[in-house]
Amino acid sequence: MSIGIVLVVVAVVVVAGVAAGVAVDRRRRSRLRDRFGPEYERAVEATGSRRAAEQELDARERRFADLELKPVPGEVREQYARRWMRVQEEFVDRPEAAVHEADELVTALMRDRGYPDEGYEQRLRDLSVRHGRTLDQYRAALEVHALSTHDAATTEQLRGAMMDYRTLFDDLLADGEPTGARRS
């Protein structure tokens, strides 16, 4: 074979390899965007690069796969729903207290589902794998919760926080697929 033919074959192989790599990266990026929703762009912004963000999101998925999450049994689900209704009713007379109780209720539900309590940032990373589309609302609720501890939140902000907590609460309560190593 002549050198020219060998160079053409090598060039074709290199181009095919690059094209395959690009296609794999696009599929991976698309899968991560679909799974994480707005969290994908947040991760890109936080890390400063798509590659670093995608590595971070992949790490979140690997950690999430090892969590022992469990569904909330029907009776317990009903208890949570009743507790939420009481918190909502309390909002009329004591909005700040209701927001604090909503935060406690969401945190208790996360714990009962099996989400580890390893701090705020890790909790958000864990939630992002399955609840990435509701995390912006949860973050907003947490900000208002923090304001309310200093009596700095308006009634409208408190009302918004209740709705934002409710979004994640409903997601967590309805999300009953078991995950982790013991999945049957």
- Which tens digit of pLDDT belongs to each residue from 5-22? 877 777 777 777 777 766
pTM (predicted TM-score): 0.79
Four-residue CA torsion sign, 174, 177, 182, 184: positive
Cβ burial 14-42 (10 Å sphere, 16+ → b, else e): eeeeeeeeeeeeeeebeebbebbbebbeb
- Does residue 93 have a pLDDT over 70? yes
> What DSSP element (H or E) covers 9?
helix 3-36
pLDDT, averaged across the chain: 88
How confident is the model at residue 183, as a pLDDT?
Answer: 35
Confidence of residue 130 (pLDDT cuts 50, 70, 90): very high
The pLDDT, as a whole number, for residue 16 is: 73
| Residue 24, pLDDT above cutoff 70 | no
Confidence of residue 181 (pLDDT cuts 50, 70, 90): very low
Kindly report, residue by residue over 131-155, the tens digit of the pLDDT. Answer: 988 999 999 999 999 999 999 999 9
Report which of residues 76 and 175 the model is more confident about.
Answer: 76
What is the rounded radius of gyration, in angstroms, for the C-alpha atoms of the chain? 22
